[in-house]
Amino acid sequence: MKRVAVQQGLEEIRLGLERKGYEVVDYMYGGHIDAIVYTDIYSGLDSVNNSVDGNIYGAILINANNKTIDEIGHIIETRRYERLFTK
């Protein structure tokens, strides 16, 4: 099971990922994670980097803005974005 850290305040995304079978942990979780889901409103990634002692190595960063739960799940599974830029 993939472990995903979700930024505080993204409860709908947290619940959706749990329903899809992911282990969802707090944004400041101190163990290994496979992905970090955030929004660009306040990502706080600087504090994540300073607090997890390298356990985010290899984690994919996913900006949740304008993405569905299915799109986020697809990114977690494939570890890549289909489109980096949208028009």
Per-residue pLDDT of the chain (87 residues; tens, 9 = 90+): 899 999 999 999 999 999 999 999 998 888 999 999 999 765 555 555 444 454 556 899 999 999 999 999 999 999 987 665 555
Can you tell me the distance from the alpha carbon of 21 to that of 16, in angstroms, rounded to the nearest whole number?
Answer: 9
Tokens at 42, concatenated: 């306040």
3 state DSSP class of 24: strand
Tokens at 26, concatenated: 């707090």
Output the pLDDT for position 12.
97
Can you tell me the distance from the alpha carbon of 25 to that of 33, in angstroms, rounded to the nearest whole number?
Answer: 9
The whole-angstrom distance between residue 70's C-alpha and the CA centroid of its chain comes to: 13
Can you tell me the distance from the alpha carbon of 65 to that of 23, in angstroms, rounded to the nearest whole number?
Answer: 21
pTM of the model: 0.78
Output the pLDDT for position 44.
57
Output the pLDDT for position 10.
95
